[in-house]
Amino acid sequence: MSEHKNDKEAYKNEPYRNQEFVVNFKDPFNAEPTPTRLIQSYITPTEHFYVRNHAPVPDIKESAYFLRIEGLIGKPMVLTMDDIKSKFEKVTIAATLQCAGNRRTMMSEYKKVKGVGWGIASLSNGTWSGCRLRDVLEYCKAFSKDSGAFHACFWGLDFGCPEEPDGKPYGSSITMEKAMDPEGDVLLAYEMNGETLTRDHGYPLRVVAPGIIGARSVKWLGRIIISPYESESFFQRRDYKIFHSGIDWNNITDKVWDSTPSLQELSIQSAICSPAPNSTVYLPFTIMGYATGGGGRKIERVDISLDGGESWDYAEIMTEEKGPVNRYWSWVFFRYTITHLNQLDHQKQVPLKLMCRAWDNASNTQPRDVKDIWNLRGVMNNCYHIVDIVVENKKSNL
């Protein structure tokens, strides 16, 4: 990808990675599990959890680590990891993180977009333990919205993002509504899946902001600035925004960038993880995949089509997270088993065009066609997922 400069020296101290990963970009490291691996467990094992880095992975000693909290704050502060672990209640949530670029490759196949290509697996589900961002901000006496504090800005310690001038680290921000919402569940996490964070996932401390795009869950958190303004980072101001399909790199203006809201809440998403595209299967077989509502919305149903969207039936939702309204942070898996196909009584092979689409508790569903949501950054591709397969008859007399 031309937007990333490759500097071998800067990437010489990367952590060991699972060899099963599909590597979409090497330096910085961007990788996703295979679709079949993705649905092998409801909580994604850490070594299979997708990785989206923007710079070399910093090598931080916990003993030398501190978090600065400044800006519109009554008591600006520097906290050590000891402070963070001892001064604030430890809480654990389960939450799916998803990159806004999930399924970008498919969008690019329709019409080329810029950005790291991703298949259908740049999302994963984990448990996260740490303290509530809200508790920390209250402890530091963060100003309220009435006093002009509208955004919680995060800077990482991963210096050297190629997109940033002067080797700045990755940065991003969320709204103070989300940061301070008692039901927003934004954490400063130091554990993932019950163990200390790994380097690839933000050791020793990261933001986990469930329900919104993964880009806001800043890893290797070094600084929080409470501000009237969004983060000044490239990744807040000139990336992770969605435009109509007529906006391209030739006609986009600063005015369009500036007036377009930064993505926060995720939209509804689903994809078929098995069978694989262009595979041949035998009866009976089961279609399996994931669905996730944005913003903590519940997945109410998943529909499956075998005929390219002409007719539909309900999939079975296998894992239904029990949560209060609007706090369904984790994905669900779905399955649909086919035991008989009339056409196979007379034919050796039947091609099927599998499709899935999910519906949330606000009757929002996915768009059918990628052309209706195509955008120049290739973000938020949540159109119906299509998988072409062939079902073959095992009977030899046909």
Closer CB to a copy of itself, residue 280 or residue 311? 311
CB of 14 to a copy of itself, least distance (A): 32
In angstroms, rounded to a whole number, what is the distance separating the alpha carbons of residues 332 and 71? Answer: 39
Window 120 to 159, contacts with a copy of itself (CB under 8 A): 145
- CB under 8 Å to 216, separation ≥6 — which residues? 154, 172, 173, 174, 207, 209, 264
Q: Is 230 in the site for a copy of itself (CB under 8 A)?
A: no
| Burial of 75 per CB tally in 10 Å (0-12, 13-18, 19+) | exposed
162 makes contact with a copy of itself (CB under 8 A): no
**CA dist., res. 208 & res. 185, Å (int):** 8
Centroid of chain to Cα 316? 24
Q: Site map for a copy of itself, 292-321, x if CB under 8 A?
A: --xx-x--xx-x-----x-xxxx-------
DSSP-derived letter for residue 73 is B
Based on the shown chain and the rule CB under 8 A, indicate whether residue 23 belongs to the binding site for a copy of itself. Answer: no
Q: Does 258 bind a copy of itself (CB under 8 A)?
A: no
Cβ burial, residue 94 (10 Å; 0-12/13-18/19+) = middle
Nearer to a copy of itself (CB atom), residue 325 or residue 398: 325
Query: Least distance from C-beta 200 to a copy of itself, angstroms?
Result: 27
Give yes or no for residue 165 binding a copy of itself (CB under 8 A).
no
Exactly one of 152, 268, 291, 344 binds a copy of itself (CB under 8 A); which one? Answer: 268
User: How far apart are the C-alpha atoms of 240 and 294, rounded to whole Å?
Assistant: 16
Binding-site size, a copy of itself (CB under 8 A): 42
Distance in Å, CB of 155 to a copy of itself, minimum: 23
Strands 385-392 and 280-282: parallel
Interface of this chain with a copy of itself, residues 336 to 375, rule: CB under 8 A: 359, 361-365, 367-369, 372-373
111 binds a copy of itself (CB under 8 A): no
The pair of structure tokens assigned to 164 is: 């940033």
The residue from 198, 267, 270, 330 that contacts a copy of itself (CB under 8 A) is: 267
Report the distance separating Cα 101 and Cα 120, nearest Å. 10
Is residue 204 within 8 Å of residue 62, measured between CB atoms? yes
Q: Which residue has the tokens 């990808």?
A: 1
In the complex, which residues of this chain contact a copy of itself (CB under 8 A)? 145, 175, 177-178, 242, 244-246, 261, 263-268, 294-295, 297, 300-301, 303, 309, 311-314, 324-326, 359, 361-365, 367-369, 372-373, 380, 382
